[in-house]
Amino acid sequence: MVFPHPLPLVPAPVSATAGEGRMPVTRALRVTGPADATTQLIDAVERRSGIRLPSTDGPAEITLRIDPANGSPEGYSLAIADSAEIVGADEAGLFYGVQTLLQLLREDEDGTWGFLRVQITDAPRFPRRGVMLDVARHFFGVDDVKRFIDSTSALKFNHLHLHLSDDQGWRIHIDSWPRLTELSSSTSADGDPGGFYSKDDYREIVAYAASRHMIVIPEIDLPGHTHAIGVAYPELVEAPVLNDDLIADSARLGQPLPVAGETYTGWGVGHSSVRIHEERTYDFVRDVVRELAEMTPGPYIHVGGDESLGTPQADFDLFASRATAIVVEAGKTPVAWHEMGSAENIAQGTVGQYWGSISPQGTHADEAARFVDRGGALIMSPSDAAYLDMKYAPDFPLGLDWAGIIDVRTAYEWDPTAVLDVPAAAILGIETPLWSETTPNYSDVEQLVFPRAAAHAEIGWSPRESPARTWESFRSRLGTLAPLWNAEGIAFHRSAEVSWSER
């Protein structure tokens, strides 16, 4: 493996050798290749440099092509000398090669532009590299979600988990249960404005994500986090269970307690549950899953399962078994937070998502491992390293701190296969979630997501044994992304841990 330091690339490729000098970028450079990839490259170069490259069907200085014999899925090779060529093993690989090329676009002190000369061979470590956007606590419209897709897919993330429902709001229209969006979507946490996606909106997001090689995973959180369902259909939801922690936290934050049938704007968790012994509850779950499955070409539907604090274990087991079976009946693979591993008889092959800490507490590790025992696999989202809604520092104005303070180095220095005692092959990959209690505006989201998402992108993509996989190497390379992020209008946090480049 050859990887001279420093090449300004995040995530670090499998193999890279730097050449001398730069390939000049001018309006005379022509681009040839598949239409989608060439358009994305040309548009991005123009946003960054102001230079509009022409496309051609003939010979060109920049060639983009696909060759299935050129490595493994999502892999690519990139060669830049006096001309440039990207060869993707598939369409996704070509897309990721283009993202790497864009990171190599640099401005000289005299204002001219060029691509760094380099030879790269690359492919991902994990097949599952995800980000999660919580649109339930605070709602973000289609254009914001597209911006999120653009900026995270550029770091080679390939799954977008949309948290579509929670106590504070329901965000997707369901034809068979229309009051969900009529009555349960109008507000957000703290009483901020709400919103929802029409089916056309959702299909637009799914299609846009696919154009950036991201699979959308919709989540309807069940059986807890369901207060908003009860605002629209009170017969489906139990009365709130008010525990001492919820009461104390609500008083400390000056937030209201949940009241049955009324919109909830606080941040408390664990107080809600659907009525598990009512058959109409399963009619509801079946209809929602069916309509989501019809609009979602990806293989997954996430059914939640976390923080059902007031639900007896036997009831939780019953619900988990029936809900995961409903997802399978709809032709999808169920995904659930790791607590659902405690339930008996969940559907074979259900994928677990671990959100416990790097050093597992209580029963979390056992719950996660049981997904593997039942033929499933795991997605790693340890809350004290991967949660993007945690504060960078104690005095940072956005975010929470219940899982810990997560600076950029903490976000970087963990490994998905070292947290749980399960076979490495059982780890599908990672997901880095953004919960939105403290982010009423999309610029707030970007402050929390960037630059830490880049750390998780490297964890998910780059070989663990790569000599580039050190904090000092990463922080140096990360700093070189600033000009690209500035050109794309990303409101990233300029962490003092990193020396940010101006060119």
The predicted-structure confidence for 42-96, as pLDDT tens digits, reads as follows: 999 999 999 999 999 999 999 999 999 999 999 999 999 999 999 999 999 999 9
Distance CA 442, CA 335 (A): 27
The predicted-structure confidence for 371-414, as pLDDT tens digits, reads as follows: 999 999 999 999 999 999 999 999 999 999 999 999 999 999 99
Other C-beta atoms lying within 10 Å of the C-beta of residue 254:
7
Distance CA 284, CA 236 (A): 8
Task: Give alpha helix (H) positions in 374-470.
Answer: 383-386, 408-412, 442-449, 452-461
Residues 269, 228, 170, CA angle at the centre, nearest 5°? 110
Backbone phi, psi, residue 24, to 5°: -60, 140
Q: What is the pLDDT of residue 132?
A: 99
DSSP-derived secondary structure for 486-502: HHTT------TTS----
Other C-beta atoms lying within 10 Å of the C-beta of residue 1:
12
> Structure tokens of 246?
């919820």
Burial class (CB within 10 angstroms; exposed 0-12, middle 13-18, buried 19+) of 499: exposed
Q: Which residues are catalytic?
A: 307
385-419 core/surface letters (b: 16 or more CB in 10 A; e: else): bbbbbbbbeeebebbeeebbebbbebbbebebeeb
CA distances (Å), origin 417, targets 296, 353, 374, 376, 502: 29, 14, 19, 16, 36
Task: Give alpha helix (H) positions in 77-175.
Answer: 91-103, 142-153
Q: What is the pLDDT of residue 476?
A: 96
Q: What is the pTM of this model?
A: 0.97
307-319 core/surface letters (b: 16 or more CB in 10 A; e: else): bbbbbeeebbbbb
Residues of the chain with pLDDT under 50: 1-5
Q: How many residues does the chain have?
A: 503
- Radius of gyration over alpha carbons of the chain, in Å? 23
Domains by residue range for the chain, with CATH: 15-122 (3.30.379.10), 128-487 (3.20.20.80)
Distance CA 481, CA 184 (A): 40
Whether residue 341 contacts residue 371, with contact meaning beta carbons closer than 8 Å, is answered with yes
SS3 146: helix
Residues 490, 217, 72, CA angle at the centre, nearest 5°? 80
Whether residue 3 contacts residue 12, with contact meaning beta carbons closer than 8 Å, is answered with yes
List of residues 6+ apart from 137 with CB closer than 8 A = 166, 168, 169, 188, 189, 267, 435, 436, 437
Other C-beta atoms lying within 10 Å of the C-beta of residue 115:
23
Q: Is the peptide bond before 394 cis (omega within 30 degrees of 0)?
A: no
Q: In 135-259, which ranges are E strands? A: 159-163, 165-166, 169-170, 215-222
